[in-house]
Structure 1
Amino acid sequence: MTDSDAFLKAWEPDNVIPYPRQQWLDEFAAPAATYPAVDFLPIDMSAVFTAYLEGARFDLYSRINLDMGPDGTLPLAVVGAVPEDRDDMLFCLDGDSGRILLLGVDDGTLELVNSTFKALTEFLYHFALFIDADTGGFGRAKRAKALRATMNAIDPEALSDRESWWSIALMQMGSKG
């Protein structure tokens, strides 16, 4: 398990924001083990994640009770967004299970991003390390393949679909599934 200092070093101390960990543990049914060990998130992670939602349609940590028809309501909390589409593509914590889902606001789609909130932070941590060490070009595909292997060991479900959020992000960096 990665400690707080390692996360802060990878994400940089001025690029993190606390999230209401204890409040969510008290309010949501998701098991405590699905939460990250740290109580903060990165604010900006290149092209894959942003918690900077000022001026966007939804605020960071907004609650969305998604109507699932006969299955009831799915409690979601916004933890970030796709940087290029902060109004429509939201990373949300599923309050029942602890999964991270990508909510397409306009069309109401849900896609699994990570099987736990903890796995999302681990992915973002390893992604930050990759970006910090990346010099582009030569060797990038090999490093991206190693990153995929690391991420797959953390959360194979997040990479099981070739069209998943992380599979596509890694493919764009040069790693073939």
Structure 2
Amino acid sequence: MDLSKVFIIFSLFVSFSSATTSVIDFCVADFNFPVTPAGYPCRNPANLTVDDFAFSGLGVAGNTTNIFNVGLTEAFDNTFPALNGLGLSMARLDIGVGGVVPIHSHRVSEVILVIEGTIIAGFIGSDNTAYFKTLNKGDIMIFPHTLLHFQVNVGDVPALAFVSLNSANPGFQFTTASLAANDLPTEIIRKITLLDAAQRT
């Protein structure tokens, strides 16, 4: 068999195997059972109402009285069970003046839409190139999956943004907190980060 035929067969196999199909319309999470790698088990559709498919939590400003001056309100599968298994979620970011969403990553891609204020948003590519830009009302920016990214309010009023992520539970890992709040011995942290003991605390 020549290479062109192998390529065509491989291409067809990939296209068929990557197609997403579902045998049910939705799977509202049932929290009576533990989450699995595929999400939560489904509640009985006979017990659902339209209210199970609506969420009002993003209409309320998040609490920004913290060290980062930022409030995060999540519409993830654990707060909005109808998202379970659908591969998407949203969150509201309230960023006070001078506030920052610290550098972090998650296992999925993200789109941010600025509603009010002015922020600098950016990410760092795997080649250590920094991509950052000042965003104003109506601007959007994409953060590719797994890459470190951040947002900083550089305006003189509080900023509001909404983010959309392509997972019902995207998993956040804040770099600073992960380095400072783990139980690795200080000597190992010093070696892998070049931080001394005083800088870690």
**TM-score, normalised via structure 2 length:** 0.23
Larger radius of gyration, structure 1 or 2? Answer: 2
Q: Which has the higher contact order (CA 8 A, sep 6+)?
A: 2
**TM-score, normalised via structure 1 length:** 0.25
Q: Which structure: greater strand fraction?
A: 2
Q: Which structure: greater helix fraction?
A: 1
